Amino acid sequence: MPTATGSVPSTAVGAGEEVAAGTVLLGRYELGGLLGRGASAKVYLARDLLTGRSVAIKSFPNPRGGGCEDGRRLVAIEREAAILRRLRHRHVVRLHEILATRKKVHFVLDLAAGGELFSLVDASGRMTEDLARHYFRQLISAVRYCHARGVYHRDIKPENLLLDEAGDLKVADFGLGAVADGNLCHTLCGTPAYVAPEILSRKGYDPAKVDIWSCGVVLFVLAAGYLPFNDASLVNMYRKIYAGKFRCPSWFSPALRGLVRRILDPNPDTRIDTAGILSHPWFCDSASDDELARLMRGHEEEAWFKPEFKEDMARAMTAFDILTFSPGSDLSGLFGAGPGKERVFVSEPAGTVLSRVEDAGRKEGYRVRREGKRGTGPVYVEEESGGIVAKVSVFKLADTVSVVEVVKGDGAEAVLFWKDRLEPAVKPPALN
Ligand code: ADP
Ligand code: MG
C-alpha cells in the first residue's frame, strides 16, 4: 500500500489536469463520478488500477498553480494533509497518498462507500435510540482518539460523517479548508447550528470542548429528527445556543435527556468531556466493559505516531488560529452575511461601537442619525442627498458578546467608507 507522501509538491508530476470521469491520474487512478463537493474541494470516486480497489479522491485546486502561490490555501491543504497522515483509526477516513498536477492537488482517501450517516434516518427524519447510540459510540471513539493526539476536527456536522461499505462510521473532512482562502466561515457556517457558543465569544476556547458540543448536536439530531437550536433568525438561533435553550422530544429516554443536557451545556467548563461520556449510563447501556474498551481502542497502528508530531501540530494550530479565530475576525459567514452586508463580533457595549461609527461618518463628512430607544441604534450614515451609505445595528447575543451588522449602501463610496472608516470603527480598537 502506498504511504502518504510529505508536503504538497510544487511541480507538475504528470498528466491529467482536467478532472473528468475516465481520466487516469498519473497512470494509477482512474476517475469515476463525483461523490460530493465541499467548500474547498471536489471528491471523486476512483479505481486504483494497481490493486483494483476503489478509493475516494479529494481534489483541490493547486494553490501553487496559475503562476502565483496562494499562501492561505496552501497552509490549509498542508494542514489537512498533516492531520490525516497522522490519523489511523477505524472510524476516521484514512489518507493513502497525495498526488499533484499543475492545476490540482489530490488526496487519495479511503472510500466511504455507504454515503452519509444521515441517509440512515427513517421517514420522520430520525433513527431509533439504539441506532443513534451505535453511531454515537463510533463517533466518540474517533473523536477521543483524535483528541488524544492533539487533533481537533472543529467541523463535526452531518455532511462530514460518512459510512463505509460495512455501514460503519467514517469521520471525514479534517480540512476546515476554507481557512486557506479566508473562508473558514463557509466551512463552519454551512451549518451554524453545530457551532459551540464559546467559539463566538472571542475569549479563546478549548477545541476539544467545541468538538464535544458538535457531537451533542449530531446526537440530538439523529435521535430527534430536528435541530436542538433553530430559529428563522440566525441572531435568535445564536441566542438560544448561548443560553443552552432547547427541548428534548417526548420520546427521548430519561438517560438520553440527561446525556444531551450534559453535552449541550453552554458553559465549556462544566460541559461533560469524553471520559464523562464514556461512563455515562446512556452511552454504556448494555455494553460490557470489554466491548467498550474494544470500541475505544479503534486505532489500527501505533507505529505511525511520531513524537515530533505534537510540536508540529502546535505550530499548525497557531497559524490556523491567527488566520481564523483571532478576536474580531470576520465570522460573517456564520451568519450568512451576503454581498452588501458585513457582520463582526464584538465584546463592547453597543453604545461604544455606535459612537465610533458616528465619529467615522462625521469625519468623512456624512450625516449621521441614531434611532432606537435610548440610543440603541441602528445608526444611519447618509449622504447630504439622503442616500444611505451604511446602516449599522448591534444585536446582543450574551452579556459580553454582540454582533454588529453593517448594511452597506449601493455604490463605490459606500464600499470605500466601509473599508477605510467603518470596518476599523466597528472592530475593537486593539485590533486596528
Ligand atoms: P470540504 O473540505 O471541501 O468540505 P469534504 O472532505 O467534506 O470537503 O468532502 C466533500 C463531500 O464529499 C463530503 O461531504 C462527502 O459527501 C464526500 N466525501 C468526502 N470524502 C469522502 C470519502 N472518503 N468517501 C466518499 N465520499 C466522500
Ligand atoms: Mg466538508
CB of 38 closer than 6 angstroms to any ligand 1 atom: yes
pLDDT at 227 > cutoff 80: yes
Options 3.30.310.80, 3.90.1580.10, 2.60.120.380, 3.10.105.10; CATH for 301-431 is: 3.30.310.80
Question: Nearest ligand to the C-alpha of residue 43?
Answer: 1
Q: For residue 157, which of 74, 213, 232 has the smallest C-alpha distance?
A: 213
CB of 171 closer than 6 angstroms to any ligand 1 atom: no
CA separation for the pair 72, 320 (Å, rounded):
9
| pLDDT, tens only, 13-53 | 333 344 677 788 877 899 999 998 887 899 999 999 888 89
> Which of 59, 173, 185 should be mutated for ligand 1, with most atoms under 8 A from CB?
173
Q: Which of 155, 173, 211, 330 is catalytic?
A: 155
pLDDT at 343 > cutoff 50: yes
Beta-strand ranges (E) seen in 22-146 are: 24-25, 29-37, 42-48, 54-61, 95-100, 104-110, 115-116
| pLDDT, tens only, 391-411 | 898 877 666 667 788 888 887
Q: Where are the domains of the chain?
A: 15-109, 115-296, 301-431
Query: Per CATH, the architecture of 15-109 is what?
Result: 2-Layer Sandwich (3.30)
Residue nearest to atom 11 of ligand 1 (CA): 36
Beta-strand ranges (E) seen in 271-398 are: 341-346, 367-370, 379-382, 388-398
Band of the pLDDT at 429, cuts 50, 70, 90?
low
Q: What is the CA angle 159-317-39, rounded to 5?
A: 30
CA separation for the pair 287, 293 (Å, rounded):
10
Taking the CA atoms of residue 84, residue 89, residue 91 and residue 97 in that order, the dihedral angle to the nearest 10 degrees is 40
- Sign of the torsion formed by the C-alpha atoms of 146, 147, 150 and 153: positive
**Identical fold between 15-109 and 301-431:** no
Is 312 part of the annotated catalytic residue set? no
On whether the pTM is more than 0.85, the answer is no
CB of 393 closer than 6 angstroms to any ligand 1 atom: no
Report every protein residue that has its C-beta within 5 angstroms of ion ligand 2.
38, 160, 173
CB of 160 closer than 6 angstroms to any ligand 1 atom: yes
Task: Report which listed range, 42-46, 61-65, 94-98, is most confident.
Answer: 42-46
What class has domain 115-296? mainly alpha
**Residue 227, helix vs strand vs coil:** coil
Residue nearest to atom 4 of ligand 1 (CA): 38
What is the per-residue pLDDT for 252? Answer: 97
